[in-house]
Amino acid sequence: QQQVKQSPQSLIVQKGGISIINCAYENTAFDYFPWYQQFPGKGPALLIAIRPDVSEKKEGRFTISFNKSAKQFSLHIMDSQPGDSATYFCAASNSRGSQGNLIFGKGTKLSVKP
């Protein structure tokens, strides 16, 4: 019940296309859903996050869509650019829990072809 399942494992998108990465969870106590972006040789960095009181959050070309009833959330990257090529991790936590450790998905390696 603590798992976060992420798909696909890898994704190739043409420049200008839309990249979509999906995550699913089981624990209904989760109330914080961040996405992390990791470039080669770097640690993951927080990209965008959402709480379940909204169904969508947009920051520039990056959008999180959240479906509470389906227990799913997804990252959409509009107008994908070669500079977006990175590994993306979704995560979830119960922020009201004792310490709110993040549970990470296994990651998606995105390659954007010029």
Partner 1 sequence: DVKVTQSSRYLVKRTGEKVFLECVQDMDHENMFWYRQDPGLGLRLIYFSYDVKMKEKGDIPEGYSVSREKKERFSLILESASTNQTSMYLCASSLSRQGVVGYTFGSGTRLTVV
Binding residues for partner 1, rule: CB under 8 A, are 6, 9, 32, 34, 36, 41-46, 49, 89, 93, 95-97, 99-102, 104-107
Q: Are 114 and 15 in contact (CB under 8 A)?
A: yes
Kindly tell me the burial class for residue 59, based on how many C-beta atoms sit within 10 Å of its own C-beta (0-12, 13-18, 19 or more).
exposed
- Would you state the structure tokens that stand for residue 103, as one six-digit string? 């549970």
CB 79, min distance to partner 1, A:
26
30 or 80: whose CB is closer to partner 1? 30
CB 72, min distance to partner 1, A:
18
Instruction: Please state, in angstroms and rounded to a whole number, the distance separating the CA atoms of residues 55 and 87.
Output: 24
- Would you state the structure tokens that stand for residue 57, as one six-digit string? 């959050």
Question: Which residue matches tokens 């999180």?
Answer: 64
30 or 74: whose CB is closer to partner 1? 30
19 or 34: whose CB is closer to partner 1? 34
CB 6, min distance to partner 1, A:
8
